[in-house]
Structure 1
Amino acid sequence: PSVFVAVISAPSNFEKRKMIRKTWKNHLKAESEKGSLVTAGFGFIVGVTANNVTQAKIEEESKLYGDIIQIGVSDFYRNLPFKLTGLFNWLYRHCSKVDFLFKVDDDIYVNVRNLIHFVRSYHPSNGTIFAKNTNLISFQINKTNSTAGKWSITYEEWPWKSYPKYYFGPAALIHGSAFLPLLAAFQTTPLMPFEDVYYSGICREKAGIEI
């Protein structure tokens, strides 16, 4: 089975990307060369920055390493769903035949041998998202227009009492057969500010995908 590794990063996280290249990206390359895993691609997924100096450094970094995928949305927390939608569109255009997408945050150290084990174990399981904390049922949402806190959401943004079942975590393994159903759901589902809830809850449920 093949896997595309997408590391969700921020434009200014140069040191985190540097550390990943020195550590587990090297392990991933070594295992791929041994034939333990088919790596269909690897990319750091970043959004757009208004800082010209940072943007110039990203372009230099991309030329040097060839592993930057810049999505055309402003890079801040509540734009993460836009960023993820951009990633799926990029995969559909460039890497649609891959067996798995492994999506991981840039502050996580990946045990490559564990990744290989999961990919091999779950390869036959079509249309599925695998992640930790998949049994999390959402909390109740206030119906008042709250503006405080990272996880606040207004009644206008989400008028229901709770979210669908979703996973909340820094990494997920998404089966390739789930790509098109998720893309279709993205295109017909209004965006909301929380990435995990949006794609692994609302859109996943709409697409009929298990977690």
Structure 2
Amino acid sequence: MRKTKKTSLGLIAASLMALSLTAPAVVSAATATTTGDVTFTKPTNAVNPVNPTDPTKPVDPVDPTNPATGQTGALTLDVAPVLPFGTHEIESGSHTYALNADASKGSVNKNPYLQVSDRRGVANDGQAQGWNVTVQMSDFTAASGAKLAGASLAFKDATVKTATGDTSKAPAQQNIANLSSASSATTIFSAAKGQGLGTWLSVYDPANIELTVPTPGEGAYTSTLTWTMNEGPTA
């Protein structure tokens, strides 16, 4: 009996010693805090034109039929197209002419496009703010002062592309069926709220830009097109 009691006391002592060796020490935690910071400012430079067939590349050489506007800032219309409709013999009645892609009929524009850049960043709600581009035209007028009465332009079925691989939602091109000198500024390219951050292009097939002339007259006629970049998704 005495031997058993001594053995039991020995086991208890060994167990207590093991517990004292394995129990973690209690250490008071000490913490510190620091900060990280970053600042963004509005851009002041212009965005260069990019190639409408491959927007990941710059335009090289400079394309005079799709000239850079040189606009600077956070919201810019970077490129707007020149619209040459070529030389044609007078025909009776109203006729429609596509943008000229035949060098034998005068100046050509094989890849007419608009390019816009929204570098404003997101608003307080975490979304892009939206924008719109409008176009307005004057009469087609000759040096003599003669005008092409009732002349109108149509823009349709542009392809929207991004120059920078943006993950922002894409803006939308707007078809215009009958733009005349009597029309108010008309939306042709727009981004709704949450769309259009970065650099975007609206690229046309020349066949999808048309000039309709009800009553032609001899001479060279020119119209001035005014392209305007506006804040907000609607004009």
| TM-score normalised per structure 1 | 0.27
More strand by share: 2
Greater fraction of residues in helix: 1
Query: Larger C-alpha radius of gyration, 1 or 2?
Result: 2
